[in-house]
Chains A and B, each alone.
Chain A
Amino acid sequence: MRKVFITGIGSISSLGLTVEQQLKSLRDARSGIGKATHFQSVYTAQLPFAEINASDDELKKLTVCADPGVTRTTLIALKAFQEAVADGKLSQQQLSDPRTAFISSSTVGGMCYTDSLYADANNKGETSEFYASYEGSNHTLQIVKKYELKGYTDTINTACSSSANAILLGTRLIQSGRADRAIVGGADCLAKFTVNGFNSLRILNETPCRPFDEHREGLTLGEGAAYLVLEAENLVGDKKRYAEVKGFGNANDAFHPSATSDDARGPLRAMRDALQSAELSPFDIDYINAHGTGTVNNDETESFAFITIFGKQVPPFSSTKSYTGHTLAAAGAVEAIISVLSICHGEIYPNLNFEQPISGRGLIPVTKLQQNKQIKHVMSNSFGFGGNGTSLIFSKCT
């Protein structure tokens, strides 16, 4: 099977508008979590958010997009997409090549402007400019149209593992020979719909999330978009190769619609399948970028899964959601890029806000920036509602 390399990365989150800015925030241990100023909701007074520091108008300027009916989901997707394809040096001809796939993902999708959707869905007041943009896949279609993409296109929604599955699918398309190149990732912006949904489940922390801490009280919602350019080894030539997509596992927990099982059967199967497909043993993993949402349930289950697979030798791990918040569908791709930065720079970015290990588990994440490390293999986990879970392994190019 052909190897699949990452040759371009683009990302936008509360840590910065570009990968470079985000890398600086990661190194400076500067979290993107704080008080939201662009997002309008009664909860901005009570809860912290990880908001992208740009208004919709600023994003329109940054992406040179003046089309009507373009939502914030599409704008942040466009921003990250543009950075990724420029970084991967893809020409317009390569973008429009039928053998270039585009796989995106989102949970809130085009429904990010709750109030205009309310008016249009209930036939109240004048029709908004977004009436044709509400579908979950609208941002994908807008990008396909704008960049005249002619290859395989897809949009995935497996909740919080969505963009991890986009990376997985892009890799398999290339391995199978159905595509030579794939632009993969996802986008989700802050929306009343999601905030109220997670709030109704009582899993939002009133202070910035503290993954893997004994006193964690829930997650912090964030927004973000990230795309990676994946290319078949025979096409890469002398291009920069950030890392190889080495392995993947997708499994379902089959336990509860919005909680993970005590025995971590889904996460365990995803992680084991990822190791097996990468032909690696647990001891080969140098760093785990954990799902680590900061909810009582997830971190307990994920810790159990780590101990089950790695025994007493759990590799260095951290949840960078302590920086970016939980960017939902985008999280898998945002964290894939952080994993790739770890490999390229030999660094591990810390798990912020950690004080005390979870009792009975005793696992301590990396809490200070580690540099000059040899990082060959990184595992990145994403688990979501509906029992969906995906584990990816990225490896240093040899």
Chain B
Amino acid sequence: MQLSDLHAGDVAVILSLGSSALSVKLMEMGCLPGEKVEVRYKAPMGGPIAVNVFGYVLGLRKEEASLVQVEKCL
């Protein structure tokens, strides 16, 4: 599933990212395969989501979050 599919409070592990310029940027900002992500909160009306990753909170749009393949932790 994609990072954009998660709900607030969900925890997941990053599996892979695409190979676009934006996925490089995401990786540089710490969204690496194997990293744990936790969805902290979401903006109203389908706006960006904020995830805790790599020791800080990163806000990103759904379009960007959909580049990140994750596996949800139960």
Asked if A and B are interacting partners, one says no
- Which positions in A face B, CB cutoff 8 Å? none
